[in-house]
């Protein structure tokens, strides 16, 4: 089976912008293969790179007296006093949620719980809906 022809329309269909497609060509020094385009679209997706929400995430405190764990780990943690910490997590399963809403949301919820547990915390609330 022949791979589809790599075009800007194909790149857009994979969630890449025209600027990102041009950046791929510039970095590779040539047109990407179909497989390479798929890899870039995954790596530069909201789920992996937070390309749309990064601007908002940067506004959150990343260090300070009460910040126990800032960006870069599984979840963030802040000191709430008396030896207690609050651990927070968001998940970005946009694509599976769009294609299969219930299963995508369940995957997202599972990722949130996993990352809370890996920080040594116990979840007490979850504000993610499976609807």
3-state secondary structure the chain: CCCCCCCHHHHHHCCCCHHHHHHHHHHHCCCCCHHHHHHHHHHCCHHHHCCCCHHHHCCCCCCCCCEEECCCCCCEEEEEECCEEEEECCCCCHHHHHHCHHHHHHHHHHHHHHHHHHCCCCCCCCCCCCC
Same domain? 35 vs 58: no
- Each residue's pLDDT tens digit, 65-86: 999 998 877 899 999 999 999 9
> Model-level pTM?
0.64
In a domain, 33, yes or no: yes
95 is catalytic: no
pLDDT, position 52: 80
124, part of any domain: no
> Does residue 47 have a pLDDT over 80?
no
Residues 95 and 72 placed together within one structural domain of the fold: yes
Structural domain range at position 29: 8-44
Q: Return the closest-CA partner of residue 97 out of 131, 49, 62.
A: 131
Q: Report, as an integer, the average pLDDT of 20-41.
A: 97
Q: Which of 47, 52, 66, 95 is catalytic?
A: 47
Give the β-pairing of 84-88 and 76-81: antiparallel
Q: What percent of the chain has pLDDT over 90?
A: 52
Q: Considering its fold, how many domains does the chain have in total?
A: 2
Among the listed residues 52, 66, 93, 95, the single catalytic one is 93
Q: Is the pLDDT of residue 1 over 60?
A: yes
Identify the pLDDT of residue 130: 57
| Predicted local confidence at residue 127, as pLDDT | 80
Q: Helix 18-28 and helix 34-43: axis angle, to 10°?
A: 120
Whether residue 123 lies inside any domain: the answer is: no
Is 52 annotated as catalytic? no
How far apart CA 40 and CA 45 sit, in angstroms, is 8
pLDDT at 45 over 70: yes
Distance of CA 53 to the CA centre of its chain: 9
């Amino acid at each position: 089976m022949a791979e589809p022809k790599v075009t800007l329309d194909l790149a857009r269909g994979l969630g890449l912008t025209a600027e990102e497609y041009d950046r791929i060509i510039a970095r590779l020094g040539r047109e990407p293969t179909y497989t390479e385009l798929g890899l870039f679209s995954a790596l530069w997706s909201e789920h992996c790179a937070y390309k749309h929400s990064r601007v908002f995430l940067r506004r959150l405190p990343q260090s300070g007296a009460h910040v126990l764990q800032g960006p870069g780990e599984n979840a963030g943690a802040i000191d709430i006093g008396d030896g207690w910490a609050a651990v927070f997590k968001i998940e970005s399963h946009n694509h599976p949620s769009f294609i299969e809403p219930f299963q995508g949301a369940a995957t997202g919820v599972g990722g949130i719980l996993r990352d809370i547990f890996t920080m040594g915390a116990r979840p007490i609330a979850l504000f993610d809906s499976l609807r």
